């Protein structure tokens, strides 16, 4: 595996590779990331990975400086997965001057849910992903469904900007008890790790209630509120638990609910100092 940090060196290395598949990451790789590499291999060749902790998507009080960086271990894992090139730019490589041009997603998608509680997050994500796509110029890129809204934002960006990149979604990889794998799980204490499974359990309970019978938007609202109260009583600090339409992440109205519109329930909550997100399609 070649490790490249310079953009021009990367382009020289990949010249003529018109079936390249790209998996962007922020490092601290776990089995969820590695499953993306394996899925990527099914959609083209060669597989290109990147590791870059993107300052633009972190808010002023978020964990940019503390975000776990495990580069040597990451390299070893990627080599075992047969990755062809690891693009590992420094901040100076990717942002040699202030990144004044930014990509702003539409408000109806970029400023709800995660966008509401993490202002500027999706602008930072879109900007770095567009720049990484420009550097790598892949045919296909793979993103995990754990970051459900992020996947939708990136897919819509590619469509509206006519980027020649096919976005392939990957199912969420979970621990045996159901907790979605995440680099931030490493922040959890032993007690918090045991409690963390309650997030997916809460989503499963909501999924079951929604599937049981015909509901109104008011019923959905009460289910969401009850879930937040339940998590709060267990020591969580919920940002949101929300049932939305899969195709646009807007709330479902009576017509949507009566026509069995495909739904997804999404949640974000803090457990101690760790913020966890998850989702479950209904």
Q: Find all residues with CB under 8 Å of 265, minimum gap 6, and list them.
A: 203, 206, 207, 210, 241, 242, 243, 244, 279, 280, 282
SS3 content of the chain, % helix, strand, coil (to 5): 45, 20, 35
Give dist(CA 117, CA 105) in Å, integer. Answer: 15
Give dist(CA 58, CA 121) in Å, integer. Answer: 6
Q: Where are the alpha helices (DSSP H) in 67-216?
A: 71-80, 91-94, 107-110, 114-117, 121-136, 148-160, 190-196, 198-212
Give dist(CA 111, CA 67) in Å, integer. Answer: 24
30 is annotated as an active-site residue: no
Strand pairing category for 47-51 and 21-25: parallel
Q: Which of 30, 33, 43, 247 is catalytic?
A: 33
Give dist(CA 227, CA 224) in Å, integer. Answer: 5
Q: Contact, 132 vs 24, CB < 8 A? A: yes
Q: Contact, 39 vs 13, CB < 8 A? A: no
Closest CA to 256 of 268, 266, 246: 246
Phi-psi category of 260—alpha, beta or left, where left has phi over 0 and alpha has psi -120 to 50?
left
| Residues tagged active-site | 33
């Amino acid at each position: 595996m070649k490790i490249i940090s310079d953009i021009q060196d990367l382009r020289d290395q990949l010249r003529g590779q018109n079936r390249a598949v790209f998996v962007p990451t922020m490092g601290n790789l776990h089995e969820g990331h590695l499953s993306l590499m394996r899925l990527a291999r099914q959609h083209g060749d060669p597989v290109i990975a990147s590791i870059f902790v993107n300052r633009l998507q972190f808010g002023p009080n978020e964990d940019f400086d503390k975000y776990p960086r495990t580069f040597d271990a990451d390299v070893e894992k990627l080599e075992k997965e047969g990755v062809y090139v690891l693009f590992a730019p420094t901040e100076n490589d990717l942002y040699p001057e202030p990144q004044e041009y930014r990509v702003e997603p539409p408000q109806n998608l970029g400023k709800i849910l995660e966008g509401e509680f993490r202002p500027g997050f999706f602008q930072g994500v879109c900007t770095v992903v567009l720049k990484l796509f420009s550097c790598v110029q892949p045919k296909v890129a793979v993103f995990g469904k754990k970051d459900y809204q992020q996947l939708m934002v990136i897919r819509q960006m590619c469509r509206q900007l006519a980027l020649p990149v096919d976005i392939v979604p990957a199912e969420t990889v979970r621990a045996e008890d159901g907790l979605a794998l995440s680099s931030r799980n490493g922040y959890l204490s032993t007690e918090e790790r045991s409690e963390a499974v309650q997030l997916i359990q809460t989503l499963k309970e909501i999924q079951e209630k929604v599937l049981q019978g015909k509901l109104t938007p008011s019923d959905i609202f009460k289910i969401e509120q009850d879930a937040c109260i339940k998590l709060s009583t267990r020591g969580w600090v919920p940002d949101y638990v929300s049932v939305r339409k899969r195709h646009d992440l807007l709330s479902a109205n009576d017509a949507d609910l009566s026509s069995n519109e495909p739904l997804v329930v999404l949640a974000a909550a803090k457990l101690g100092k760790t913020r966890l997100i998850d989702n479950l399609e209904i």
